[in-house]
Structure 1
Amino acid sequence: MSIPSDIRPLVNELYQVLDDSERQATKGLFALRTAMSLFPENEILMQYFSSISNFQFCVAGTRLQAENIVNNILLVDVPDEDVQKAGDYLATLLHIAPKVKIMIDKVVERLEEALP
């Protein structure tokens, strides 16, 4: 069985936002590691590291939830009502995921402004 056509765009958009968030977080952590090697006791850099790590954890958790929902939709004989509930939950995740991406973007932007 495949993902229902009315849910497929929702799933694709959610995964795209999560992928973008992961890439941005990885970019931020790479820059942070370089800066932290130069200033290992800098509390602001430690806060940035903590924030980005927490955001990565949130993204990973959201991805896991989405994958579990999609896997449940793909089971045989899933009632239409359950598919609708799954779609609603995926829509909720899609509503939350961009907010996390925006927070990651803000932290990385501040980091890039602070580092030469």
Structure 2
Amino acid sequence: MARGMVIIGAGECGGRAALALRDLGYDGPVTLVGDEPHLPYERPPLSKEAMASDAPAIKAIASDEVLAEKSIRHIHSVQAVAIDRAAHTVRLSDGSALPYDKLLLATGSTPRKLPMPGLGGRCVYLRT
């Protein structure tokens, strides 16, 4: 199996990195791995209007067709659970392993919850 580039994190950074590789002429295998069930996406600017709107909270930056056209393999709904740097493999939560030549970690972040009792519904976290 050809190794190529593996990108862990299929949010905006990972998705745009995969697209940029192709735009810059990289012709090796590109695999984008994300634990979320949807396509690479961008989030809207955070505002009261965005929170109150019925508009979708996320906007895909590439469709399945675009990813296929650019030969970007998108593996969704799985987590990278281990990286074996010596063997150049990433183990996924479904038990499979991906070989890589180059690895990009684009996992983003997790919001830190405020350790304040009694916040109730007065504090809204905008990420899962």
TM-score scaled by length of structure 1: 0.30
Higher relative contact order (CA 8 A, sep 6+): 1
TM-score scaled by length of structure 2: 0.28
